Each structure stands twice: as structure tokens, then as C-alpha cells.
Copies of this chain bind each other. A is one copy, B any other.
């Protein structure tokens, strides 16, 4: 593999391919045409070929892709061929739901710890995890082999928690708190933000409606300008 910087969007799509291939594999599909795979993934076939080309040659001309084989290769590339250990910080409604989100486990992501500052919650069990005191963050992080910190705290404490995680050696952060966070260059962060997605959605709906009402005022529908006598 050449040492090229792979764009995040390519990694994102590889993950989509892998997920859909896993689904096909479960359904005992052995071979899939690039057109069909593209269709399921909502991506055009040329894009799939381009994304895969970063990593080598896959697929057989005139046949398509062997599902199991391509899945195996993608899982190796994405390092989905091993488990990753997550730690949750902030066990509110969302945090508790994440701890019990079965889809994580299916994809090889396992929570090994959860942390709270709320005394009422410390020591309680959610799913398979007993909630730790946030004051023991560094200790528990090391003891449990936590690799990724999942931040589900409020905005105000998120940066402090991230700084402590980074000091404890954590290299990846999945952030659900509604704030931009600072991390050193060798630490990676991804944001999950529902309300920003909703904002984008509502903007798209509104501006589409504005366009339509503009068009309607130029080309009124039959009947809409008819005078009634």
C-alpha cells in the first residue's frame, strides 16, 4: 500500500461498502455486480472503483465483486478485523442508549467503561457496564484498555474531559457534545451532531419551498388566478 493520504470521505464510503457487503454476505450473496453494489450503497459504480483503487485491485471484469473476499479486504483496511474498546463519558439519556446500542457490538465496538460525575449514577449498572466515578477517569482508562472516548456530556465539561483523556493516552474521540473541541495533532476526533443535520435538512426543505413558490408565482397553476364571478 502506498503512503497516500486517503480522503476522509473515501474512508467513510469504504465503511458504507463494508456494511452493505456484510449484509449481502449474511443473505448468502456470493457475487455482486459493481452496478448492483453501487445501487445498494447509493453511490455510482465509478466512485466505488476509484475508492477501492487507493488500496489495490478488487473485483473481476465482467463478474463484479466476490462479496466475502471484498468484505474481508475492506475490514482489514478499516481495521474492523479486531475489537475496539470504547469508554463513555456522560451517562444521560443519550449515553445510556449508546451503552445499550447493539449495533456497536455487531461492528466490533465494545464499551469497556462509562463515567459520570453524578453520585446517584456511580456504581449503577447500564447494560454490561458499571458506571465509574469521573474522578477515576485516568486510572480506569488505563486498567480497561480504553482506546476511544465517546463524549456524551454537556457542552461545558467536554473540553476538560477531552484534555484528560488525551493525557491518559487516548488517540480517538467520538464527540456527541454540541461544541468544537481541541485535540493535539496525533489525536483524532469525529463529531456526531443531530441538530446540525436537522438544520441542514430544514434549510433544504425551506429553500426548496421558496423556489417552488417563486416558480408558482411566475407560472401560476391553472385555476389559481381564475377570477370567480
Residue numbers of A with Cβ under 8 A of B are: 3, 6, 8, 11-12, 14-16, 18-20, 23, 40-42, 77-80, 84, 86, 93-94, 96-98, 100-101, 103-104, 107, 109, 147-148, 155, 171-174, 178, 180, 182, 186, 188-192, 194-208, 211, 214
Contact (Cβ within 8 A) A202 B101: no
Tell me if A198 and B148 are in contact (CB < 8 A). yes
Shortest distance in angstroms between A150's beta carbon and chain B's nearest beta carbon? 9
Question: For the complex, would chain A's binding face be called helix, strand, loop or mixed by DSSP majority?
Answer: helix
User: Which of the residues B8, B104, B202, B208 comes within 8 Å of A195, measured between beta carbons?
Assistant: B104
Question: How far is A195 from B16 in the complex, measured between Cα atoms in Å?
Answer: 10
Q: Are A195 and B107 in contact (CB under 8 A)?
A: yes
On whether the beta carbons of A200 and B93 are closer than 8 Å, the reply is no
A sample of 5 inter-chain contacts (CB < 8 A) reads: A11-B200, A12-B200, A15-B196, A42-B180, A103-B178
| Inter-subunit contact A93/B100 (CB<8 Å) | yes
User: A12 contacts which chain B residues (CB < 8 A)?
Assistant: 196, 199-200
- In angstroms, how far is the closest chain B Cβ from the Cβ of A189? 8
